With several copies, the nearest count.
Chain A
Amino acid sequence: QDKPKIALIMKSLANEFFRTMEDGAKAHQKAHAGEYTLVANGIKNETDTAAQIKMIEQAMAQKVSAIVLAPADSKALVPVVKNAIDKGIIVVNIDNQLDADALKEKNITVPFVGPDNRVGAKLVGDHLAKSLKVGDKVGIIEGVSTTFNAQQRTLGYQDAMKAANITVVGVQSGNWEIEKGNTVAAGMMREHPDLVALLAGNDSMALGAVAAVKAAGKTSKVQVVGYDNIGAIKPMLADGRVLATADQFAAKQAVFGIELAQKALAAKTPQAQLPAAVKTDVVLVTKDSK
């Protein structure tokens, strides 16, 4: 009997976050080689929604049994997800949650395997707040604004800042990417010379912010925090250029997503009866975490 084929569809494979996710998935497949085959695909950047949709369509043409998806856009992927479900394909959503209203309108349910991004961001924000004073000014660099997790992280950061009475002077999008993060950070610092911290929605943008801080000659005067705990951020955590980040266990998200799909396939559970959400961990990472 044929092994089921599972497709993992991610965003930018130039982002280490998704590379980690891909590696985790591949390792899992190797360990369970007898149980399923895996096709992993990503797009060239964080925003190429149309390309991601084509990938789902190709997966359907390939007759995969299940799709595990990290959507580049929370709303725009919903219609094609519905097509897949209508074809009897199990779809599991990881990393970035699909828009609840759109799902409802389509009358489908898609289980979400992932962390609570608002909570994760709050952890990072609270840690930062400890080293700030009341009335300090900070800026937020948001991910791609059309993704739910970016919006959630911004909210989490704002929650933390509000709790500590710190002023958020601006929220600008750095598109999840280094260079855009760099430009936005540089601009914010020039606009607000008294800025003391930059809260980036992910580590790529944090990297860009660190370079901007250095270029402005404000190292150690402007703190930076990020999210994802990618490899490149580790030396910066060590020397203090980045104060904190969050680990949301990319590999585990993929593995949990795949396992959920596997279980559904084995038990022939219909899509509609899958659990609504499986919360995964998100933890604070600082210089002192090991």
Chain B
Amino acid sequence: MNASATSTAAATTSPTNASVWRSQLGTYLGLLAVLAGMVALFSSLSEYFWSTETFVTIANEIPALAVMAVGMTFVLIIAGIDLSVGSVMALAAATSAAAILQWGWTVPAAAALALATGLLCGTLTGAISVAWRLPSFIVSLGMLEAVRGSAYVVTDSRTQYVGDAISWLSAPFFGGISFAFLLAVLLVVVAQLVLSRTVFGRCVVGIGTNEEAMRLAGVDPRPIRIIVFAMTGLMAGLAGLMQSARLEAADPNAGSGMELQVIAAVVIGGTSLMGGRGSVVNTAFGVLIIAVLEAGLAQVGASEPSKRIITGFVIVAAVIVDTLRQRRAAA
């Protein structure tokens, strides 16, 4: 070590924790600014936007997207991708509906079945891509198709009306906020802690950065990869439950195209598709940005073309703002 390095290192040793916190907060600032800007804009455009009701509505709309995005964050960090989440969500909803309606299962049993379905699908995606060392893109694309087909089979290609058996999950519960929302928030917090504070989380980051180095350090990446996909499947299963609680129906077409929305939320949150970098809390901001944008545009009654054009711009602009802020902070 030379002298200057010594002093720098010494100087930064103690304030490390504080500065870590500051820098952590810093990483949220860009996205927070985008979010605040959007809320301000919509509030000025629509008289009812700035209201508890709007925010409660948004809060109750996002859980399904949010929990899938939590799983997807881990998938992207290991440099994978899971295109099947939308289909898995539909299948999970469909199996629970079939369990309740056709096989007369109790609601908890049916809910467990939905979760198990998601877990199984995710495990399959992970196991196939690990076993044959295939890109998860293609495996999950195959799953997207196969699982969607299964959802058609299970629902008999008809929307299954479930009724309010499981609607408590999405029913207003505390100041209008649903249980599903609280669950989603809890999952975001837990997942962030798992990512940054557990051995598993550190292995996930390491595998995404340099799988070979991790392997040489004695960490077998295969089970970890499978677990990440399995958990994402589980999250999609949970999302399916949340969705069918909200719709009181299992729609075989539910969540089609949703994979891109989920990935967009994660990427807006700054997680890299190349792996090794990501944050669940930032993903949550990405989810909020997408949800606020959608709600705001619907409320101001934007025409369909302008909606799409604005959405496109906002997605890119959000990432630009965030990127520039991160770079400025790094410099």
Contact = CB atoms under 8 A, between A and B. Distances in A.
Interface in A109-132: none
10 contacts: A19-B158, A54-B294, A178-B251, A179-B251, A183-B294, A183-B298, A190-B57, A204-B159, A207-B251, A234-B161
A132 B161 CA distance: 28
A75 B161 CA distance: 6
Nearest to A231: B158
Interface of B: 46, 48-49, 51, 53-54, 57, 60-61, 148, 152, 156-161, 163-164, 167, 170, 172, 176, 243, 246-249, 251-258, 294-295, 297-301, 303-304, 308
B48 A187 contact: no
Nearest to B170: A215
Contacts of B256: 44-45, 47
Interface string A150-183: 0000000000000000000010110001110011
Given A16-B159, A61-B51, A79-B249, 7 more contacts: A14-B157, A61-B54, A79-B246, A186-B57, A186-B298, A216-B57, A234-B161
A190 B48 contact: yes
A171 to B, nearest CB: 10
Contacts of A15: 157, 253
A32 B165 CA distance: 43
Interface residues of A, number: 72
B296 to A, nearest CB: 9
Contacts of A74: 159
Nearest to B258: A50
A53 B247 contact: yes
A257 interface: no
B49 to A, nearest CB: 8
Given A13-B304, A44-B308, A178 B294 contact: no
A16 to B, nearest CB: 4
Given A16-B159, A49-B254, A102-B161, A208 B295 contact: no
A54 B54 CA distance: 11
B236 to A, nearest CB: 14
A146 interface: yes
B159 to A, nearest CB: 4
A19 B303 CA distance: 11
Given A53-B247, A216-B57, A193 B48 contact: yes
A215 B60 contact: yes
B241 to A, nearest CB: 14
Interface string A13-32: 11110010000000000000
